[in-house]
Chain A
Amino acid sequence: MKIAHILIVLVIAALTLGCIGNKQAETRSVDTVVQPAQTTIAPSVTAVPGVDDPFGTDMDVAALDSMLADSTMDISLMDSI
């Protein structure tokens, strides 16, 4: 009986906090992704195609921009110490 109580409590708490029931979005995207070329889940891009962007090109452009920004990350090391 006590074990059943503990299980109920844990499941309710986990559901409340979203620890379970949230499948990896990456997995979700795999279901819809036909080939690697698709950039619909590119990091740092949250937009979904809408009336103003019926072909989803804004999302693609934002994904390219984000990747370009990462390629320019640098560190300002001093010449000598």
Chain B
Amino acid sequence: MKNINWLLASLVTAVFILSMFSGYANAQTPEEQYNLYKEKYENAKKRFEDARGIFEKARERSGNINDIRSKEELKNRTKDYLLRAIDQTISHLEILKYRVELRENKDIIKFDASGTIEDQISQLEGMKVKVEGAETAQDFRTIYTELKDLWINIRLETRYYIGIVLNYRINSFLEKVDNVSIKMDEAITKLDSKGIDTTKLKAEADKFDSIVAEAEANQKKTDDLFEVHNGFSSDGTVTDVSAAREFLRQGDELERGTIKTIKEAAKQLKDFVKEFRKLARGLVTIEGGSTETLSGI
């Protein structure tokens, strides 16, 4: 009995201690880890926006009442605004670092994007120390200029990294749909051999192929653009801010266009599958099993 009591008490204690770490233990899938970073980012963003609002009010008050108390308050609010801005920037970088470090993304970027992001995080951490020690308005202005300059590079470089990964993924998707096209043709042939009228199904397949061709043409332009990567050196750092901005603007527009077309293709594929099932009535399968995915082809 004594042993059982001791065992129960120990169990409760152990559960309590381990529960403090269970959040980390449970955040095991990439999706869960990503969500943790995303949640942290959203919180940091909210805190930054609150700090910005409070700082703006303090600055306005300080303009009307120029006493020591309001000056001190403005100093504290400025400090808070800067710290929260740096925190949000770090959270932003953590998400993107996580993205580029994901195992399936690791070989896509040909330079050390993760190392660059780490350096930027270190610079930002250093900036926080400077903010804590800042005393005068000039001190704060100098740090703020430094932060804004760093942010310009961070924003451009991280958009470039994600653009590369996204581009790779779009190409992979288009390769997959080429395989789907083959499966669709095979399915039509199977139905034809059973004497089933496939006129409508063929029309659905043609429509799908036409949408995919449009996406591929658009994607070719994106590939060409990323091949040149105007404004960025081969190690992924910005060499010309305005050229980099223009390159990313064009890349973003093209990638969005391709994704929009890909969505249309996915919708068209569903229409095809629906029509196929109506005709096949379970006698013929399109994918060799309903759980088979493109990745298994």
Contacts and interface: CB of A to CB of B under 8 A. Distances in A.
The reply to whether chain A is a binding partner of chain B is yes
Interface of A: 5-6, 8-10, 12-14, 16-19, 22-26, 29-30, 32-34, 36-46, 49-61, 63-65, 67-68, 70-71, 73-78, 80-81
Contacts of B293: 40, 49, 54-56, 59
A55 B169 contact: no
B262 A64 contact: yes
Interface in B86-129: 88-89, 92, 95-96, 98-99, 102-108
B247 interface: no
Q: Give the size category of B's interface with A.
A: 35 or more
A68 B89 contact: no
A81 B18 CA distance: 46
B21 to A, nearest CB: 7
9 contacts: A6-B10, A9-B7, A13-B11, A36-B104, A36-B172, A49-B292, A64-B173, A71-B166, A74-B155
Contact of B25 (A22, A30, A55, A77): A22
Contacts of B88: 75
The 4 closest A-B pairs by CB, nearest first: A37-B172, A43-B34, A56-B293, A25-B29
A76 B132 CA distance: 22
Interface in B125-150: 140-141, 144, 147-148
A10 B12 CA distance: 10
A60 B155 contact: no
Nearest to A45: B31
B99 A43 contact: yes
Contact of B163 (A5, A41, A71): A71
Contacts of B21: 19
B262 A19 contact: no
Contacts of A13: 11, 14-15, 17-18
A73 B250 CA distance: 17
Contacts of A57: 173, 176-177, 180, 265-266, 269, 294
A30 B9 CA distance: 41
B54 interface: no
A54 B292 contact: yes
Contact of B28 (A22, A37, A53, A67): A22
Contacts of A51: 290
Interface string B58-70: 0100000000000
Contact of B273 (A6, A30, A34, A54): A54
Contacts of B234: none
Given A37-B172, A41-B104, A55 B294 contact: yes
